[in-house]
Amino acid sequence: MDYSVAIQTIKQSDPVLAKVIKIVGDCKLSQVQQTGDLLFSLSRSILYQQISGKAAATIHSRFLQLYPHSPLPTALEILNTPDEILRQAGVSGSKVLYLKDLAQKVMEGLPTLEELQTMDDECIIETLTPIKGIGRWTVQMLLMFRLHRQDVLPVDDLGIRAGIRRVYGLAELPKKKTVEDLGQMWKPYRSIASWYLWRSLEVETS
């Protein structure tokens, strides 16, 4: 994916972030895009919540190994898996509930990824957040990393807030309103700006 227009737009509207872009280099957001259907994407998001990436990857792998005969587990297979089996794979009690609720809602007719592509971001958030364990942030990650939406700004994301604090030299983590106000400069490419803010935590920016 070519991000040159997005990068040029952000550089022109925000000289501070322009310096970060120069240090970080090319945007590699497209290289971390995810695959799989909606059930796969959201179940992965649930399993990755609030634990380290390494631990989450191990649990996610064990979860997938419970369904060796399917390329991806189906909603029916998840519903038919005893809670105890999921717990033995390392899935917490609350996440077992979330996975079962997700599977149930898929069975009842959640939109497919293709159907979601025809909807705007806020409509997708409203459609998916009624699922237990799926909050606004989780849907925003789906928008950015699975549906390739270019204008998403996860204002509650700790990495985004920490990046802003570092890049703009703030005394403390910015409040939601500050993040939203700064984000006006990056429209309509706030996903790309977010990617650079995450990367800013990994490089020397001073």
Helix 4-13 vs helix 15-24: crossing angle, to nearest 10:
140
**Res 199: pLDDT:** 95
Q: What is the pLDDT of residue 84?
A: 98
Q: What residue ranges of the chain have pLDDT lower than 70?
A: 205-206
Which pLDDT does position 23 carry in this prediction? 95
**Structure tokens that stand for 92 in this block:** 């917490």
Enzyme catalytic residues: 157
Which pLDDT score is estimated for 27?
Answer: 94
One-letter amino acid at 67 equals Y
What pLDDT, on the 0 to 100 scale, is given for residue 206?
58
Which domains, ranges and CATH numbers included, belong to the chain?
4-32+152-200 (1.10.1670.40), 38-145 (1.10.340.30)
pLDDT score at 50: 84
Exposure letters 129-149 (e unless 16+ CB within 10 A, then b): eebbbbeebbbbbbbbbbbeb
Question: pLDDT value at position 2?
Answer: 87
For 117-163, the pLDDT digits (tens) are 999 999 999 999 999 999 999 999 999 999 999 999 999 999 999 99
Single-letter amino acid code for the residue at 117: Q
Supply the pLDDT for residue 190: 98
By C-alpha distance, which of 58, 67, 19, 18 is closest to 39?
A: 67
